[in-house]
Amino acid sequence: MSEIVNREDLDFLLYDVLKTEQLLKTDRYAAYDRDAITAILDTAQNIAEDLYWPDAAAIDAEEPRFENGAAITHPSIKPALAAYAEAGLFSAGFDEDIGGMQLPMIVQTAANGIFSCANISIQGYALLTAGAANMLNAFGSDAQKAAYLPPMMEGRWFGTMCLSEPHAGSSLADIRTKAAPLGNGRYAIKGAKMWISGGEQDISENIVHMVLAKIPDGPPGVKGISLFIVPKFRLTPDGEIGAANNISLAGLNHKMGYRGTTNTLLNFGDDGECEGWLVGEPHQGLRYMFHMMNEARIGVGHGATMLGLAGYLHSLQYAKERPQGRQPDNKDPNTPQIPIIEHADIKRLLLTQKAYVEGAMGLVLYCAQLVDQAAISSDEAEQKRLGLLLDLLTPIAKSWPSEYCLEANKHAIQILGGYGYTRDYPVERFYRDNRLNPIHEGAHGIHGIDILGRKVRMHNGGAVLALREEMQSTIAEAEGIDELSNEAAALRQSLDTIAATIQSIVSAQDPQRELANGTLFLDAFGHVVIAWIWLMQGVAAKKRAERKTASAFTDGKLRAMRFFFRYELPKTDLAFSLASRMDQTFAQAQADEFTGSA
């Protein structure tokens, strides 16, 4: 079996759990049937196995070099992305009428996941470019779209998002980059941007930076942030690549992982005028950026999931092949050693990975499907409902896989033992790569505040209600299936606990007290959501088993579901209880208490 994708599982999630075939019956996606999607996934798998995976260790070992102000990347990265471009995948998400593939988001996600699993630090360039292009497509003027979208959709120009600055990572209210108006939508950009992935590289012909900056005399804080297109090379009047735009690479960050993706400190306008072009209205930059951010956040969760999958599949294969030791009741050293997959604790480490990774994958694909549902719906109330679901689930889809698929990678190392701790095996790299995901696109703590301070309250709790209804429909289905009734009851109980917890928190009217346990709440809420995703998978597995016959595949799905409900879901009681009573044990700690001195 491939070590970068379990196609049977992907098909199960797409068709048995998430009913992608219904989507394909709509006008918007009529160009695709199941065979066409299979062909796309085949192509993705071939490119990923041929060009993304083989040099993954070398790309990690030889991180980008800073030479004469340029970033030199590993030579295997460019051809891999060229093949990705050649397959048309840079344009996958765009409408046909502008030259895109108009592929459902759920299929794009499935295909991109195969690349991320094979080599997340190559795929980073593609995902950033898609995000920047999507934002341009949503908010750019016709002229801007005409100038920038085609080369980005062809994968000739790449995109970035430039938010953070050296002194302001999480706090965008405090960014200092300035945009001085020059007339006709043209601005002089001046400032430094930090942590810019793909900010400089030697792969694409041009780089389209989407930059947040402040126009003088605008409102303070986040209300004064505007969005600009700032290309590495200016465009000539006929849209060709022109003069350099005075963006200088001040340094490359040397990271623990994700080392194929350059990560940069950029100075805009230090050596001469740096031109930026206002996107949309002034002072609306943060709103526009969040359009991309939400997509990027789910993308982070997806990347975390794929790294989890990579570790899971690799450690599973190792566990099947490595002989070591005997069962506890066999003390006879003359008997042959058994493959380590026969040891109970190795099974625990594997089933935990499966429960985390395949649960996270179900959630990410579910979120993608919400985007598709919104794209085909013409009903305003339905669109609002889908939007609420997506808003509520975004912090979870970002954070939960970042936490638990990192944990999965920890388990993958453990299965390989000493070998797993060496660079001769890929699992330590997955673990290093994945440690980024709880940090970027909003650290966990930010999402804890987001979900508890905003998402559960918005529209009078409408998002939570919408999610509750979705879950209740799965529960109702599961209640009718003998083998799933315990899990259905447990999830129903969790829904009540969540409702009671939110009720007691939002009534406190004291933001600082209420939000203290935001991260714990986020984590526990995420566990309930993943339990629901597993219940959906349980229902689908039972149906498949009835339709065809029970198989190792469906048995495994049901086992992983039961494992999650028995070993994981009960952990949420403590977090909900602490969040509910707004425990302030840590929140009231004084700075000098930690060591006893200031």
Site for its own copies in 439-458 (CB under 8 A): 439-440, 443-445, 448-449, 453
Longest dimension (CA), the chain: 85
Q: Which stretch binds its own copies (CB under 8 A): 141-149, 182-190, 459-467, 567-575?
A: 567-575
Q: Which stretch binds its own copies (CB under 8 A): 200-208, 459-467, 515-523, 530-538?
A: 515-523
Judged by CB under 8 A, the residue of 423, 458, 473, 476 near its own copies is 423
Residues 14-73 that bind its own copies (CB under 8 A): none
Cβ distance to its own copies smaller for residue 269 or 426: 426
Residues 170-209 that bind its own copies (CB under 8 A): 170-171, 173-174, 194-195
Residues 352-381 that bind its own copies (CB under 8 A): 352, 354
Active-site annotation holds for 441 = yes
Phi and psi torsions of 536, nearest 5°: -55, -45
Cβ distance to its own copies smaller for residue 189 or 406: 406
Q: Are 89 and 133 in contact (CB under 8 A)?
A: no
Of these residues, 63, 441, 477, 568, which one is catalytic?
Answer: 441
Cβ distance to its own copies smaller for residue 332 or 380: 332
- Count of residues near its own copies by CB under 8 A: 114
Identify the H or E element spanning 373. Answer: helix 344-376
Residues in the chain: 598
Q: What's the rounded Cα separation, in Å, for the pair 421 and 582?
A: 40
Cβ distance to its own copies smaller for residue 165 or 391: 165
Cβ distance to its own copies smaller for residue 245 or 537: 537
Judged by CB under 8 A, the residue of 33, 50, 424, 546 near its own copies is 424
Is 321 among the residues that bind its own copies (CB under 8 A)?
no
Q: What's the rounded Cα separation, in Å, for the pair 196 and 175?
A: 14
Identify the H or E element spanning 179. Answer: strand 178-183
Task: Name which of 481, 298, 310 is nearest 402 in CA terms.
Answer: 298
Q: What's the rounded Cα separation, in Å, for the pair 233 and 250?
A: 17
Judged by CB under 8 A, the residue of 176, 254, 469, 503 near its own copies is 254
Q: Tell me the three state secondary structure of residue 236.
A: coil
Q: Mind spelling out the 3-state secondary structure of 46-112? A: HHHHHHHCCCHHHHHHCCCEEECCEEECCCCHHHHHHHHHHCCHHHCCCCHHHCCCCCCHHHHHHHH
x-marked contacts with its own copies along 322-351 as a string, rule CB under 8 A: -xxxxxxx-xxxx--x-x-xxxxxxxxxxx
Q: What angle do CA 348, 569, 521 make, to 5 degrees?
A: 125
Judged by CB under 8 A, the residue of 113, 199, 359, 420 near its own copies is 420
Judged by CB under 8 A, the residue of 316, 502, 539, 540 near its own copies is 316
Burial (CB count within 10 angstroms: exposed 0-12, middle 13-18, buried 19+), residue 327: exposed
Cβ distance to its own copies smaller for residue 503 or 588: 588
Q: Give the nearest distance from C-beta 578 to its own copies in angstroms.
A: 7
Instruction: Please identify every residue annotated as catalytic.
Output: 441
